[in-house]
Amino acid sequence: MRGGTLRNLLVQSIIAHAPGRVELLGNHTDYNEGLVLSAAIDRGVTVHGGPRTDGRISLTSLALEKRVTVPIQDFDKQKDEDWANYALGVVRTFANHGFQMSGFAMEIVSDLPIGAGLSSSAAIEVATATFLRKIFHWDIEPLRLAKLCRQAENEFVGVNCGLLDQVSSVFGKKNSAIYLDCRQETVETIPFPGEVALLITHSGIKHALVGGEYNERRERCFSAAKKMGARALRDVTSGELEGSRDKLTNLEYRRAAHVVGEIERVSQGIEFLRTGNSRGFGELMYASHESSRTNFENSIPELDMLVHIAHDEDAVFGSRLTGGGFGGATVSLIEASQAQRIAEKMEKEYKKQTGNECRTYLCEIDDGAR
């Protein structure tokens, strides 16, 4: 795949890197116009290449051992090469917004597992945009870059994701959490008090009927807000929710309780970080998981078990499911010096109790795209 012809066409070589991310608090808050905390990790997508002189775009994925070459002036969404659409979507979206470019060659290298909830898709988009910005000298604010990358995924790829993935990949900061207000679309970074590591533990389980579950959660959130006379659950406090309990069905109440609780936990979490209280922050993560388990019902026994194993360890500040749920992964916030030992213990205990392997990714919290 690393053909000499490709190399000969390149005038210069540029490297860009964009990290993956993990959600720390604020589960299912995005479509409720709420608040969320995430972190960029020290795994991501690295792209390299340079301009081509023949007006063509060539994209190569080392992981998939595939290459797609299209003319920059005239290409459609790729039906058989879905992976290429993330980068092509960035090209199309930025071009539509007046950013000038000519042909280029770009190779994608990644150490993010695909589809594991660490946002490899946004990392490709942000890495591509960062790469093109450098080659073609675009002048663009980081938040606008993140928003255009999201637009690429929404409109070109056709996946209806929120802004968190792209914002995290752009704004990540070493040992810091990223705070996104999904309604205002404002971003802030907040440092952790001590050196922390993140342990992402993938259960290896993918829920089969997630689409229907997602729709049910969304609809119950929207109908609960409506019955309480609110534009979105963002505008409801937990006190108001209790006061309106008899207006809601039991399911509406529990779904709303999770989201309203998550939004309040994000606000409390920020205060805990600012006052140097990692333990307090971690307790909110445990509370978040408990609310997923009982109210939102987007956990599964395997994720509960992973959180339970983490809970036994004093060096773990907190642990919870991360992302959509119904399978997938947990994230644990750990005192950095103990992280390796705890990762090994989690693997062993999970295997012992379920008979299955979990995949663990021990990560540092890292800087955003560069």
C-alpha dihedral sign at 330, 334, 340, 342? negative
Is position 63 an interface residue for ligand ADP (rule: CB under 6 A)? yes
Per the listing, tokens 């000298």 go with: 137
Beta-bridge partners for 332: 199, 319
The rounded distance, in Å, linking the Cα atoms of 9 and 6 is 5
Please confirm, yes or no, whether 165 is among the known catalytic residues: yes
In the chain, the amino acid numbered 234 is: R
Is position 151 an interface residue for ligand ADP (rule: CB under 6 A)? no
Using CB under 6 A as the binding criterion, the count of chain residues that bind ligand ADP stands at 17
The rounded distance, in Å, linking the Cα atoms of 280 and 285 is 9
Residue number with CB closer to ligand ADP (47 or 228): 47
CB 59 within 8 A of CB 295: no
Is position 38 an interface residue for Mg ion (rule: CB under 5 A)? no
Which of helix, strand or coil describes residue 305? helix
Stretch that binds ligand ADP, among 112-120, 139-147, 253-261, 294-302 (CB under 6 A): 112-120
Given ligand ADP, Mg ion, none, residue 169, with its beta carbon under 5 to 8 Å by kind, binds none
The rounded distance, in Å, linking the Cα atoms of 20 and 22 is 7
Which of 27, 85, 110, 121 forms a contact with Mg ion (CB under 5 A)?
Answer: 121
Which of 6, 10, 15, 64 forms a contact with ligand ADP (CB under 6 A)?
Answer: 64
Label each residue of 3-52 as H, E or C: CHHHHHHCCCCEEEEEEEEEEEECCCCHHHCCEEEEEEEEEEEEEEEEEC
Which of helix, strand or coil describes residue 214? helix
Residue number with CB closer to Mg ion (107 or 165): 165
Q: How far is CA 51 from the centre of its chain?
A: 30
Which of 89, 117, 269, 282 forms a contact with ligand ADP (CB under 6 A)?
Answer: 117
Which of 115, 229, 243, 301 forms a contact with ligand ADP (CB under 6 A)?
Answer: 115
Stretch that binds ligand ADP, among 56-64, 190-198, 224-232, 266-274 (CB under 6 A): 56-64
Residue number with CB closer to ligand ADP (127 or 339): 127
Q: What would the DSSP string read from start to end of 70-84?
A: EETTS----SS-GGG
**Helical (H) or strand (E) element with 64:** none
Residue number with CB closer to Mg ion (124 or 334): 124
Which of 29, 38, 120, 330 forms a contact with ligand ADP (CB under 6 A)?
Answer: 120
CB of 206 to ligand ADP, least distance (A): 11
Contact letters (x/-) for ligand ADP, 235-264, by CB under 6 A?
------------------------------
Given Mg ion, ligand ADP, none, residue 61, with its beta carbon under 5 to 8 Å by kind, binds ligand ADP
The rounded distance, in Å, linking the Cα atoms of 85 and 79 is 9
The rounded distance, in Å, linking the Cα atoms of 366 and 283 is 23
CB of 119 to Mg ion, least distance (A): 5
Given ligand ADP, Mg ion, none, residue 200, with its beta carbon under 5 to 8 Å by kind, binds none
Strands (E), 193-274: 196-206
Q: Which of 30, 42, 165, 366 is catalytic?
A: 165
CB of 202 to ligand ADP, least distance (A): 11
Interface with Mg ion by CB under 5 A: which residues?
119, 121
Which of the residues are catalytic?
A: 165
